[in-house]
Amino acid sequence: MASNHPENLAVRVIGAPEGLPELKDFEVTVEPMPVPGEGEVLFRGIYMSLDPAMRRKMPYPVLAPGPLGATAKIGDLMIAGQVPPGRGYSGGMVGEVVESRHPDFKPGDLIHGGCYWQTYQVLHGRHLDKLPKGEAPLIAELGVLGQPGFVAYAGMELIGQVKPGETLVVSAAGGAIGMLAGQMGKIAGAKVVGVASGEKVDYVVRELGFDACIDRHKEPIGEALDRLCPEGIDVYFDNVGGEVQRAAFDRLRDFGRLVVCGMAGEYNAAESDHGPPLRPVLRKQLKIQGYVIYSYYDMYPEFRRRVLGWLKEGKVKYREQIVDGMANAPQGLIDLLSGANKGKMIVKLGPEPGEA
């Protein structure tokens, strides 16, 4: 795939799966090279993010505003299962400008935005953010410096607010969000217990410095939490919902916080009509709060400055699992939704500038 003979691959969703999607639910097509109109930018995708929220069927666009402040129109980009017929799938992407008819962009600029699953595409400049060059590896812009990192940061800063000596429990601890949430807990001086599965259990302790990690397929979650958090939990950063959420809720201490960040474990199921009881919320003075990152983009500059600092000091680590090429994106998403990923799942669409 040399950039002088580009092939423009796109992925569309053609099925409407009940549970885990399968390859037959996607279609890979070759599209003509798009031509930018007035105010628009043609760019080549380099990395594309895969996120559990892509499976979610709720009709709201988590990807709408770019993390650097560009505002896509709500409804322009929709999440899987809500993708209108004939429209492509969408996700976060970084890429390189090929041709620009927008004054803020020129060829060679690096961009970030919520984009369709298509290697070459055109979007209006107002839907794209220009990326600073050289601050961090380009791929990190979709992970620890991108939406997952920002989601973790905002939830911990706004709601979790973990203090030294407190106990933080993080579900989906080996995922792109949980990874940073847990490391932020360590930076804050808390005891951090992850909940994960597979090889990620070992990884978050050995590489990321979590104090412990529960393998949710090997031990009943309640027993494991009792064993590892005998004095209870101060902050539970929830990315899965369901049984893990309830077990953690039941063990919250006075003034405990439940950060409702995501409920990936429930996205394939019918919505439950009930949750944890509120009498303990009164008695133990708990806080349960949900948030969606597009409400907090004014925090992005602070987030970026602090995480770049932590990266420089070696206080935060991250890892990606790279899927090769747009045609493999559907399988990558299926792997991610099965929990088989090792770190942030990213599709590499083409070479970085200067890369062979």
Closest CB 258 distance from a second copy, rounded Å: 8
The smaller minimum CB distance to a second copy, of residues 60 and 199, is found at: 60
Q: Which residues bind a second copy (CB under 8 A)?
A: 58, 60, 241, 245, 255, 260-263, 266, 271-279, 281-292, 295
> Minimum distance between the CB of residue 1 and a second copy, rounded to whole angstroms?
39
Cα–Cα distance measured from residue 345 to residue 44, given in angstroms and rounded to the nearest whole number: 19
> Whole-angstrom Cα distance, residue 346 to residue 348?
6
Measured distance CA(279)–CA(104) in Å, rounded: 54
CB of 123 to a second copy, least distance (A): 27
Output 279 or 305, the one with its CB closest to a second copy. 279
Closest CB 239 distance from a second copy, rounded Å: 10
Least distance CB 78 / a second copy (angstroms): 15
- CB-nearer residue toward a second copy: 106 or 255: 255
CB of 295 to a second copy, least distance (A): 6
3-state secondary structure (DSSP) of residue 298? helix
CB of 240 to a second copy, least distance (A): 11
Written as six digits, the tokens of 41 are: 């930018």
Nearer to a second copy, 49 or 245 (CB): 245
Task: Considering the complex, state which of residue 28 and residue 281 has its C-beta at the smaller distance from a second copy.
Answer: 281
- Which lies closer to a second copy via its Cβ, residue 41 or residue 263? 263
- Here the contacts of 65-69 (C-beta below 8 Å, separation 24 or greater) are 65/294, 65/297, 66/112, 66/113, 66/114, 66/127, 66/128, 66/129, 67/112, 67/129, 67/146, 67/147, 67/150, 67/297, 67/300, 68/112, 68/129, 68/130, 68/131, 68/300, 69/129, 69/297, 69/300
C-alpha to C-alpha distance for 80 and 91, rounded to whole angstroms: 10
- What are 9's strand-pairing partners? 30
CB nearer to a second copy: pick between 45 and 67? 67
Nearer to a second copy, 135 or 266 (CB): 266
The helix/strand/coil state of 215 is: strand
DSSP for 73-111? PBTTB--TTSPPTTPBPEEEEEEEEEEE-STT--TT-EE
SS3 of 273, please? coil
Q: What separation, in Å, do the N-terminal and C-terminal C-alpha atoms of the chain show?
A: 11
CB of 143: closest distance to a second copy in angstroms? Answer: 22
